[in-house]
Amino acid sequence: MTSIVDKEISKNAQPHSKRSWWILSVGLLAVRFVQGWIYWGGGSRRFIYGPQKLNPHDHWMAYKFQTAMPGAILGTQHIIAFLLHHFTLLYAGVIIFSAVELVSGLMLLTGFLTRLAAFLTLGLSFTLMLMFGWQGATCIDEWTMAASNFAMGITLVLLGSGAYSLDNWVARKNPVLAEKGWFRWLGGSTPLPLSDGAFKKLALVLFWIGVVFIVGTYSYYRGSVVTPFHGDPTGVKAHHIALTKGRIVDHKTLDVTMYVDAGTPTVPAHIIWIRLENAAGKTLDRWNAKTLSHLNPKAIHNIFAYQKVAPDPLLGLEAGLAAKATLELPLVRPLNNPSANSHDKIVMQGINGVVSTGMVS
């Protein structure tokens, strides 16, 4: 490696720059290896060690993507919802995402076309932050992982593979190739083909992109930057259910759409009772846990095919994070004048004590 570095940076080198670059190339080994192992591990778990994660007939990655919807930002929740309704695109997306993880991770581990691989991991980190950065009930672990990977990706894009890499081996075997600008932009263990001033500008631009991205997402999820600390916008510690589209159908059925828009993905929410109340708060009808447990599954119309709302034998209704469904609740006492109930409200309580309300339209 030393001969390649000497040749490439001696043209316009500052004192000690050759030795400094050599030190950097060795010092970066841990960064390159860890970044590579993280993404290699993510891809290999699905393709090699846990293939059920890519099996649509099993509890596969679609469930994980759906649980990301409540807290996903910058419109990615709409992309996820679209993919969940289009299986072919969803499956292709899961395979491509996993393959990019696997290949870019292996490229970083071996130091092959390192800058290209690092750029790919920047895209993965950015996507993961937007989708999953909100998850992590105690230490925002998903945010921490994406932020760290983003910073390591920027470092490797700027500095390349360093020592003990295939890029370095290829450059030694093919000195002419080492002179090519495209090779040094895609990989290479030598500096980018830029002047010192241009390299500094590029590094500072990437630095400020990283600062804005990391500090901005942290401020949104947790505060502690320009606002006081706060729980993340989705409330990962407690399930919450949003109620919409409440209406009386044929004088005998209450239709209501429920969406688990907050909570932890590790356990489902449980709905233990639902009430229909008038504007004065008087109960017009009620469905307790026993009634909900025996609700006809055909009366539950799930919007998505993965996380679902379903009867629980003991605890009313069970619903995973991001489950969305329209319930058809039979009225015990049919309402003769549904139009008079436009100010009535639906009240739903989970087993955690959180109460959700919605209006009848």
pLDDT, tens only, 289-325: 999 999 999 999 999 999 999 999 888 999 999 999 9
Where is 157: in which H helix or E strand?
A: helix 141-159
CA 66 to centroid of chain Cα atoms: 9
| CB contact at 8 A, 217 and 147 | yes
Residue tagged 């090699």 (tokens): 48
CA torsion, ordered 203, 209, 212, 215, to nearest 10 deg: -70
Say what the pLDDT of residue 237 is: 65
| CB contact at 8 A, 282 and 347 | no
Angle of helix 17-27 relative to helix 29-44, nearest 10 degrees, comes to 30
Say what the pLDDT of residue 311 is: 95
CA 40 to centroid of chain Cα atoms: 18
Residue 11 has pLDDT above 70, yes or no: no
- State the fold for domain 240-359: Immunoglobulin-like (2.60.40)
**CB environment 140-177: b (16+ within 10 A), e (fewer):** bebbebbbebbbbbbbbbbbbbbbbbbbbbbbeeeeee
Query: Would you call 152 helix, strand, or coil by DSSP?
Result: helix
pLDDT, tens only, 61-75: 999 999 999 889 999
Residue 27 has pLDDT above 50, yes or no: yes
Q: Which neighbouring-strand residues pair with 350? A: 271
Residue tagged 């449980």 (tokens): 270
pLDDT, tens only, 37-63: 999 999 999 999 989 999 999 889 999
| CB contact at 8 A, 216 and 147 | no
| CB contact at 8 A, 67 and 16 | no
Q: Distance between CA atoms of 73 and 132, rounded to whole angstroms? A: 9
For residues 82-94, give the mean pLDDT: 95
The percent of residues in the chain predicted with pLDDT above 90, rounded, is 54
- Lowest-confidence pick of 10-19, 242-251, 306-315: 10-19
Residue tagged 């907050």 (tokens): 262
Q: Distance between CA atoms of 120 and 152, rounded to whole angstroms? A: 12
Say what the pLDDT of residue 332 is: 81
Kindly list the domain boundaries of the chain, sorted by start residue: 16-222, 240-359
Say what the pLDDT of residue 342 is: 61
Q: Show the tokens assigned to 253.
A: 């059925």
For residues 328-344, give the mean pLDDT: 71
Q: Distance between CA atoms of 150 and 152, rounded to whole angstroms? A: 6
